[in-house]
Chains A and B, each alone.
Chain A
Amino acid sequence: MKKKKSKNFIIGATITGIMLILVMIGCIWTPYDPEAMDVNLKLSGVSLSHIMGCDNFGRDIFSRVLKGSGTTLFVAVGTVFIGSFFGIVIGAFTGYYGGILDEILMRINDALFAFPSILLGLVFISLLGSGKYNVIVALGIAFIPSFARIVRSEFIRCKNMDYVRSAKLAGAGDLRIMFVHILPNTMNVMLSSIMIGFNNAVLAEAGMSYLGIGVQPPDASLGRMLSEAQSYLFSAPGYAIFPGVVLILMVLGFSLLAEGVKEN
């Protein structure tokens, strides 16, 4: 029985689709070289040739937004990948086996949970140094506890279910039960937490880059653009508003999509 897709799903999918297309275009082609400076165009407003205007170095904002969203997306995907991969492994083992290992890891998890993920990211950045890949590692590690926690509780819920028992009777090994039998059953919960995690990753990356300890130049990043734009808020509001709106749309699209998936 196929239900009608919800309004949230349609709007979310549309926004996300457009964003993805823009990012992909940005990978191959941008209207201008995002690094090319032109002193004559410094802080020039919206025009036909520069649809989002130019920044304080006379660089085309639209081109930089395209590149920057690509970076943001890349970091978010990497973060969620690291966070969910290790989260699944840790959560699966602790949830399935329980015992002393579970007790210790969950204590540490609880403790890490006391840190806001962006703060945890800051700690790792201060240890690793800044830059795109370090941000991915830092945020990825920071995201592990929340994924591990969700996977663990799902595994605890599933491990005593009849289908697991029958798999055991059929002689399936622990690893097989964990990753072939139980894991697919946690997919619904995982999918929505991955989507939420993705949004958190976008917001955290933007926040860190805004603070100047995330993605470093020459990589363009929406957060970094916003922090530079803040000084020119009065003379060139567009410089802040365009990257900000793109950031909002990115998050909004995904959260609507997550909402829609939940409803269906």
Chain B
Amino acid sequence: MLDIIDLNIEFHDHLVPETVVYDFDLHMEQGEIVGLVGESGSGKSMTALAIAGLLSRRDMQKRGQIIFEGKELLTCPRNELRMIQGNQIAMVFQEPMTSLNPVYKVGWQVEESLRIHHPEMSKEERKEKAIKTLQDVELDEAERVYNSYPHQLSGGMRQRVMIAAAMICEPKLLIADEPTTALDVTIQAQIVKLLKRINKEKKTSILFISHDLSLIRQLCQRVVVMQGGYIVESGSVKQIFETPQQEYTKKLIGAIPKCEKKVVTKKANTQEKTADTQDKTVAGKGGAQYGE
């Protein structure tokens, strides 16, 4: 369904061009959940934005191929790309507060993809569909949420709204860029569960981007580990977690606290530790060493 071949992303906004993603390769099947892991600055978000067609600044250059359902996304005309965006590829972002438009009602925003991609639907049909989608992401009082503004909702509810807005056209691929990072630990687990259910029921492929390996382990079938713009290692969750090949991956896994599954409330603490250890790892490595 999705094939990424030799994707390179370069920025030209400084005097010396800076490459943020090197030779990225990925193949995804329909219905698969793939985790993309790495610390901040590893190029994982850039890759995600490139797949979603959201890197279009003039001062950057993309090379390679992103083939989605047989269509080359990097070179296809903008209007064809727009037909796919929100319709077949949808995206959920890290900060649900800032990612929602503050001055429009939630319902308007959830329905937007429908208005763009299914202009034949009537207002009532759209609303019906929006309410149903809001219920699908396990929001109680969908009707009330539909008529609220983003600032009236809690963080977890906002992220559910974002997921509903992304899922309303039943896309084939959902890209979730650190969708849980800004949320409480308990809410994180709920969102992960929700994504799992969506994947099972709608056969939506999910590209789940996170720096949190424990979440990836709960959710994904395959993992791609990135560091400094390179893919360090990739394989099934089982392979990666049980027989990691690379030093970097081992350190990442070593940093996951052992008790995380038993004591949920302690997670907040331990996560900080995870982040700490990660930072040290990076510092020790002093930048990108691994290549494929």
- Do A and B touch, yes or no (CB under 8 Å, in the complex)? no
